[in-house]
Amino acid sequence: MSQALYRKYRPQAFADVIGQDIIKTILQNALRLGQVGHAYLFTGPRGVGKTTIARILAKAVNCEHLRDGEVDNKCANCLAVSTGRFLDLIEIDAASYTGVDNIREIIEHVKFAPTTGRYKVFIIDEVHMLSKAAFSALLKTLEEPPAHAIFIMATTEAHKVPETVVSRSQRLDFRRVSKRDILSLFEFVLKQEDVNIAKEALSLLAEAADGSFRDALSLLDQVISFGAKKITVEQVEDALGITRTAVSQKFLDFLIRGEAAPAVEFVKRLTLEGRDLQQFTRIFLEYLRLVLFLKLGVEKSADLGLAEEDALGLKRQSSELQSARLLEIIKAIIEAYREIKTVPVPELPLMAQVLALCRNTLEKGGSPPRTDQPKNEPGEVNVNLALGLVVEKWAEVLARVKEYNHSLLSSLRLGRLVELTGGEELVVAFPYTFHKDTVEARKNRIVIEQVLEEVFGSPLRVKVLLEREIKDEPAQKRPPTGDLLGEAVRILGEQL
């Protein structure tokens, strides 16, 4: 690739610009009505299309065949702007010239009529960088601009532009680009470059671009330069400097502190990002192996070839964890790793193990719940722990129901476990009547209750509700809030 993607795919017409719809509408309406102003101030973060739209506007006011506010990209003026050879477009980067002389030069230019086009267009990028003297020279021009002149000033720091300049301009605020917009840009670019990038990898890149088209495409440039035909999440993580060690350490910290809710949230996020949970679990197990080796003195952290920060974290975690607890975590994660393959909801085994591990911490008093939370009545805690048990084994329940009736499974999976009343009535809530009715049907209910008895060794009745019916119930009938486990159970419930 000879040129950067950002230049190669710079939009050449309003229709090619992704996002910034309000701005495009305002400018194209002005073009249709022949009411383009003499001074615009484009504000907004870097890389969101300010200069790109400024150039398209410069093209539009000079296009010989402007149609419905859109350029034709065929006339001599359009082609000249696209290739950077248009004499009546003057671009100044104020970040590199802040002196008054440069502005004087501009003013010299303003007096003369355009050479080939109808308008002389001045684009002043990073206008807030102009010196005071330069601003006052600019201001004089803006007070009485010649009819053939259009100034487009762009800035990332609008508050640094003098009020006198702002008040003489039409200000247009550019928005941060959404992740969705960045993904559609990627889709457009990749269609034309012969590269295959995993969907999750693109999502990571879009996230890292942090609302900037320019950053998005330069990240894509980097990744494509690996030269691989198929680019994986791991390669992108490496390019972005996201170490797998750091991700594993974060997850282990939640388990060490017994923080069920953030740990479950973490798994939920991996799922939403489309990560392969089995792969994550394997990577996490590899990390746990390092912790174990360090604990047993088999390895020294210096020999592991980790980055300094990662090595420090590893050392800390290995000394914080008692051997028994470490083994407990390893066993639980191995268990989850095995189950992930066989369960229709792959995040469930990992979430269930997380809950079990964090519950143990709470019961053993290893890490007390935060004290700023209200204490629960003893009875309520029991109800919650029992529900926790059902949640833990819910994957097994679903798997067994599947053996009996596959279509019942698809309805039951949408249910949220709400509470276990008196330890014998399991309340399950559904978003839609259809699924509620399916689960409630006599023959189906018999299947579910039979499976529950098989799994838990004692009979459990099932009560089925609609989500909105729960919301109508008085607050005290809802599961108690405040304890971490209860919170985690509810988060988990939403995932079922």
Q: Residues in the site for Zn ion, rule: CB under 5 A?
A: 63, 72, 75, 78
Would you say 439 and 428 are in contact if contact means Cβ atoms under 8 Å apart?
yes
Looking only at Cα atoms, what is the longest distance across the chain? 93
Residue 369: both structure tokens together: 């719940």
CB of 9 to Zn ion, least distance (A): 20
Question: Which amino acid is present at 250?
Answer: K
Nearer to Zn ion, 60 or 223 (CB): 60
Nearer to Zn ion, 74 or 199 (CB): 74
Q: Which of 204, 205, 213 is nearest to 181 (CA)?
A: 213
Q: Which of 75, 63, 61, 64 is nearest to 30 (CA)?
A: 61
Q: Collapse the DSSP code of 226 into the 3-class scheme (helix H, G, I; strand E, B; otherwise coil) and give the result.
A: coil
Nearer to Zn ion, 72 or 467 (CB): 72
Nearer to Zn ion, 30 or 63 (CB): 63
Nearer to Zn ion, 103 or 152 (CB): 152
CB of 62 to Zn ion, least distance (A): 7
Q: Which of 285, 269, 281 is nearest to 200 (CA)?
A: 269
Nearer to Zn ion, 78 or 439 (CB): 78
Nearer to Zn ion, 75 or 110 (CB): 75
Q: Secondary structure of 264-295 in the HEC alphabet?
A: HHHHHHHHHCCCCHHHHHHHHHHHHHHHHHHH
Question: Which amino acid is present at 80?
Answer: A
Cα 439 from Cα 428, distance rounded (Å): 10
Distant-in-sequence, close-in-space partners of 219: CB < 8 Å, separation ≥ 6:
205, 208, 209, 239, 240
Nearer to Zn ion, 60 or 465 (CB): 60
Helix/strand/coil percent split, the chain, to 5: 60, 10, 30
Residue 418: both structure tokens together: 């709400």
Cα 151 to Cα 102, 121, 123, 342, distances in angstroms: 15, 6, 6, 64
Cα 51 from Cα 45, distance rounded (Å): 12
